[in-house]
Amino acid sequence: MRAARIVAPRKFSVDDDPIPDCPDAHVRVKLLKAAICGSDFPYFANDYPKESYPLPPGYPGHECLGVVEASRVKNIKEGTLVMYYPPFLDGYKEYHVTPPSRVQEIPNTLPLNELLMTQLLGAVSHCAFRLDKPYNKHVVVMGQGPVGLFFTALMKNFGARSVIAVDILDYRLGASKRMGATHTINPEKEDVIETIKTITGGTLADIVIDAYGQNVAVINKCFEIAKHNGQVAFFGICLEESPRLHFNTFFRKELRMIASVGPDLTMDYPYALDMIVKGAIDVTPLLTHDLPFEDIQKGFEMAINRADNAIKIVLSF
């Protein structure tokens, strides 16, 4: 089977590994699709100690769709189309053996790339359900990569009065409008705080969602654009272990913070699949590239460098 592994900083190899056996009470999934996620970037780009390489086969992939190629359980038939949620972040390989609890049957009613977005939308939905009710409120989403775009769509779906999308890339702000943003701001062209004051009548944002996270300045900006007693949600991964946060701003504005990482497999993923299948959320503005799995190196370089207006890159087996 084909299996990708990171063998050095910013370097993948694609190797031929043995196909694993399928023991009792397990299924074997042959992947058809995998998607590159922004949370994968640090593993690709960081310099680990030399002895750490190569990283485990398939690491750190986790957005996976495939077909059950062998089944040793009664309730899942061979040939069933499924989402696969790898517990060990080893999704970038062709075959996986797993307990049935890690797969979700999906209908073959939409293009596979659209169904593949179930994983990411489920993770974003988990955070969205923990927010204050967005109905009739002003919501700002910082960052309009795939995560931010899904937050934009959900906030519009939940009835926010305004959904304000912020990003420095105009092509992503174009996707924001297609996903439901009522306003877009490019911080390199507009003053973020003043523009939000104008949109909100001077009150600032009821809810601010950090869908970027890597830059501490962006995190602190979230505190600035939230109104007094507003809510700030952190979904993006901060690359600093001990970031220098503007605590006094957070403290004096009596802000409320939440963080969100992992979804509930039994609740959030079924919800996400239902939203996609019903057409309640159009995922197509995210889907910019579909590459052969063997081009995983090219895909990561495109994604991390935001080349060719890339938003979401899918790898096809």
Burial of 113 (0-12, 13-18, 19+ CB in 10 A): buried
Q: Tell me the pLDDT band of 73, cut-offs 50, 70 and 90.
A: very high
In 10 A of CB 279, how many CB atoms? 9
Does 206 have pLDDT greater than 80?
Answer: yes
pLDDT one-digit tens code per residue, 81-96? 999 999 999 999 999 9
CATH of domain 2-117+286-316: 3.90.180.10
Specify the pLDDT at position 47. 77
Task: Tell me which DSSP letter residue 288 carries.
Answer: E
**Is 107 within 8 Å of 277 (Cβ atoms)?**
yes
**Is 108 within 8 Å of 79 (Cβ atoms)?**
no
pLDDT one-digit tens code per residue, 126-143? 999 999 999 999 999 999
For the chain, give the mean pLDDT: 97
CA distance 27 to 81: 12
**Positive or negative: CA dihedral 58, 126, 159, 138:** negative
Between the CA of residue 36 and those of 9, 297, 315, what are the distances in Å?
17, 11, 8
Task: Give the CATH number of domain 124-259; options: 3.40.50.720, 1.10.287.130, 1.10.3720.10, 3.10.20.340.
Answer: 3.40.50.720
Query: Residues spanned by CATH 3.90.180.10 within the chain?
Result: 2-117+286-316
What one-character-per-residue DSSP string does 180-204 give? T-SEEE-TTTS-HHHHHHHHHTTS-
CA distance 6 to 55: 5
**Is 208 within 8 Å of 226 (Cβ atoms)?**
yes
Specify the pLDDT at position 239. 72
Specify the pLDDT at position 171. 98
Query: Residues spanned by CATH 3.40.50.720 within the chain?
Result: 124-259
Residues 207-216 have a mean pLDDT of: 91
Phi, psi of 282 (to 5 degrees): -90, 115
Specify the pLDDT at position 48. 82
pLDDT one-digit tens code per residue, 166-197? 999 999 999 999 999 999 999 999 999 999 99
Residues 251-264 have a mean pLDDT of: 94
Q: Tell me the pLDDT band of 114, cut-offs 50, 70 and 90.
A: very high
pLDDT one-digit tens code per residue, 10-55? 999 999 999 999 999 999 999 999 999 999 999 999 878 889 999 9
Does 215 have pLDDT greater than 90?
Answer: no
**170-184 b/e (C-beta count within 10 Å ≥ 16 → b):** eebbebbeebbbbbb
Residue (of 268, 273, 279) closest to 157 by Cα position: 279
Does 241 have pLDDT greater than 80?
Answer: no
Does 109 have pLDDT greater than 90?
Answer: yes
Between the two ends of the chain, the Cα-to-Cα distance in Å is: 10
Between the CA of residue 9 and those of 12, 13, 42, 293, what are the distances in Å?
9, 12, 10, 19
